[in-house]
Structure 1
Amino acid sequence: MALVSADSRIAELLAELQRLLGHTQEERSRSEHNLINIQKTHERMQTENKISPYYRTKLRGLYTTAKADAEAECNHSDALCSILRKALDKIAEIKSLLEERRIAAKIAGIYSDAEPPRKTMRRGVLMTLLQQSAMTLPLWIGKPGDKRHTLSRRRVIPLPQWKANPETDPEALFQREQLVLALYPQTTCFYRALIHAPPQRPQDDYSVLFEDTSYADGYSPPLNVAQRYVVACKETKKK
């Protein structure tokens, strides 16, 4: 029954996600038709090599409409952000349900032909899956003035639930020379490190310097670590 219930909920979420994406496309294409008309009008003017009264009147009307569309788009920006947040929430819930379904099927001894029982994974395969998981971390879309919420970490250090966009929320990222715990490449262990350079784009990784006494300055050369696997470290930086 649990598997049937999960399948039903996933179907509902996919339908809701499709509806939300439809609204997103409507918001994005609101002024696209008018902009295409402006471009085509300019192309006709260049072909005919003249600016007739007809084209002046037509362009004046098209640009007036484009200005109104741009103002409307500004007014709809909050609504668009809200739609995107809801879509990301649906995607996260679908991923969680799929994982719960897989675990429930494994416990019950149920496997489909498309998903045979999992074998022990080689180290390289596991590292690849970890990196792929980091790449799928959803991007946080916040409103102006939004701040990052910090959970209590006395007993547990949670991994990030969102990927910060350096172009819109740089304050949500760790900064240069800040002490962190980072996942050492090709391992499943977190070690103390200093931020060498924060990401410059949403898809970029952190560049970090891991503490390593085998080097003269006590730190390794810069290594890349995904946002998902870089967390705060309470301890103070070594002097």
Structure 2
Amino acid sequence: MADNYLAQIQDRFRSIHSLVIDVADVHTKNGNGITAVTKIHEKARRDDKITVANKQKLKNLYATTISEAEGEEQLIRKALEKVYEIRSIKNDRRIQAKSSGNKETIRRGALMKALQTSAQTLPLWIGKPGEKPPPLCGSIAPDANYVSKFGDMVAALQRSPEGDENWILAEVVSYNGSTQKYEVDDIDEEQKERLALSKRRVTPLPLMRANPETDPDALYPKDTIVMALYPQTTCFYKAVVNVPPLFHNDEYEVLFEDSSYSEGFSPPLKVAQRYVIAIRDKKTIK
């Protein structure tokens, strides 16, 4: 099992290495084409005219440069796919170990760091020109019939023995289509009994990050009321977006509802895209 796992990872790394070399070669060629285009334009400005021969040369250079840029894009996308495959293989191995009863006890600090790393390395949506972000990218809602998969992170509405209800970070174990119920594990307390919850009480987390520079509509704007994972905890609470992400690696700045402050809200706190989701009214959830 371990040998197969390492072989799969090494195979992807070799593919990435090869693709990165190809990207560098194509990028150099494309740079030469752009330099040639620039020189013709500079000559045309100096002469205040452009010859018929240079017009044709420009057309050919533009066609070649565009083709090479598209080729470079495809190579980069293939490399990213290999990175995502490595992420998936590592997650599958963790899930298999968990299913076989090999539950590793994780200290609180290590768990918080792992959750942060998971959010930072969530795939970034990079669409083609005119392509819209898919469901579960940033703030884009899932399809109505969407079912979270085994191992997916979700927000689960848990009822305590005292009757209190809280949204907790959980991991999907299974889904029963007949009863429309999930089995989930509290991410913070794996040794506890699993929770059986109706689909209404489970909210999928984003599967991809949205890029604010290209897809700002896939992010919650300022003053949107959301649910967000409170820093250094595994619980979601009501919050207001104070500043949305401005760049692809930015987090949200949110204000958590908190009656202990005179303003009724906490000071601004940073929360990763993965852990900011649409607000759900507990009263309407059975």
Instruction: State whether structure 2 residue 88 is matched by structure 1 residue 89.
Output: no
1:192 and 2:238 aligned: yes
Richer in strand (by share)? 2
Task: Indicate the SS of the match to 1:196.
Answer: strand
Shift of 1:175: 0.9
Paired residues in the alignment total 211
Aligned to 1:214: 260
* Aligned ranges 1:41-120 → 2 under 5 Å: 69=61, 71-101=63-93, 120=106
Q: Secondary structure at the match of 1:29?
A: helix
Partner of 2:131: 145
Secondary structure of 2:204 counterpart:
coil
1:118-133 alignment to 2 at 5 Å?
120-121=106-107, 123-133=108-118
Aligned CA-pair RMSD: 3.9
The offset of 1:78, in angstroms, is 4.6
CA change 1:4–1:186 in 2 (3 A) is same
Query: Structure 1 residues 133 and 66, CA, compared in 2 at 3 Å: closer, same or farther?
Result: farther
Q: Please give the alpha-carbon distance, in whole angstroms, between the structure 2 residues aligned to 1:159 and 1:212.
A: 23
Is residue 256–residue 266 contact of structure 2 (8 Å, CA) maintained in 1?
Answer: yes
Corresponding position: 1:5 with 2:4: yes
% of aligned pairs identical? 40
Structure 2 unmatched ranges of 5 or more = 40-46, 136-140, 147-198
Greater helix percent: which structure?
A: 1
- SS for the counterpart of 1:157 is strand
Distance in 1, Cα, partners of 2:253 & 2:59? 42
Do 1:35 and 1:66's aligned partners in 2 also have CA atoms closer than 8 Å?
Answer: no
TM-score normalised over the length of structure 1: 0.69
For structure 1, the 5+ residue unaligned runs are 42-55, 111-116
Distance in 2 (CA, whole Å) between partners of 1:181 and 1:203 is: 20
- Determine whether 1:180 maps to 2:206: no
Q: For residue 29 of structure 2, give the secondary structure of its aligned residue in structure 1.
A: coil
What TM-score does the superposition give when structure 2 sets the normalisation length? Answer: 0.59
Q: Which has the higher contact order (CA 8 A, sep 6+)?
A: 1
Quote the offset at 1:191 in angstroms: 1.1
* Whole-angstrom distance in 1 between the partners of 2:213 and 2:251: 14
Q: Which residue of 2 aligns with 1:14?
A: 13
- AA partner of residue 83 (structure 2): I
Residues 14 and 216 (structure 1), Cα distance of their counterparts in 2 relative to 1, 3 Å cut: same
For residues 203 and 78 of structure 2, the distance between their equivalents in structure 1, rounded to whole angstroms, comes to 26
Determine the C-alpha separation between the residues in 2 that align with 1:109 and 1:124. 23
Pair 1:169-2:252 in alignment: no
Give the secondary-structure state (helix, strand or coil) at the position aligned to 2:238: strand
